[in-house]
């Protein structure tokens, strides 16, 4: 992804909250490539709300930087998933930020619900 002007402050530095938005984009893409989109998840009666979020900022991303935002599955239990993230600037391979989010698997009434076996199989934990 390329940093857009709207994501920066007057100095051209990315506003900190945008990293969490980028984490969501990477997570959504990972789920889709695993064979389970958010649309399908909700149609199947599941929600994966964020119950914890963390971001460590190492270097500033700036306007027009070309970035790679990656997501991996770090923990998978019957009712929780932890995704780890890394934001890397492509021009110099600098790791700008890293973080994680933890999600609970809930049914439409907000009660814990086991993730389907097919989803757990698709979301393999990265080494």
Active site residues: 9
Report DSSP state, residue 26.
H
Residues 6 or more apart in contact with residue 12 via CB below 8 angstroms:
62, 63
User: Whole-angstrom Cα distance, residue 126 to residue 71?
Assistant: 10
Q: Which tokens hold the place of 33?
A: 């490539």
Going by C-alpha positions, the residue among 59, 1, 68, 71 that lies closest to residue 29 is 71
Going by C-alpha positions, the residue among 20, 1, 4 that lies closest to residue 62 is 4
Q: Which tokens hold the place of 5?
A: 């002007």
């Amino acid at each position: 992804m390329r940093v857009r002007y709207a994501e920066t402050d007057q100095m051209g530095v990315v506003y900190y909250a945008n990293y969490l938005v980028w984490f969501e984009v990477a997570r959504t893409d990972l789920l889709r490539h695993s064979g389970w989109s958010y649309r399908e998840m909700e149609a199947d009666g599941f929600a994966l709300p964020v119950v914890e979020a963390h971001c460590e900022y190492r270097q500033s991303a700036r306007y027009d930087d070309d970035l790679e935002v990656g997501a991996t599955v770090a923990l998978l239990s019957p009712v929780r998933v932890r995704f780890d993230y890394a934001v890397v600037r492509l021009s110099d391979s600098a790791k700008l930020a890293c973080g994680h989010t933890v999600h609970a698997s809930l049914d439409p009434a907000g009660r814990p619900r086991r993730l389907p076996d097919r989803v757990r199989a698709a979301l393999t934990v990265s080494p």
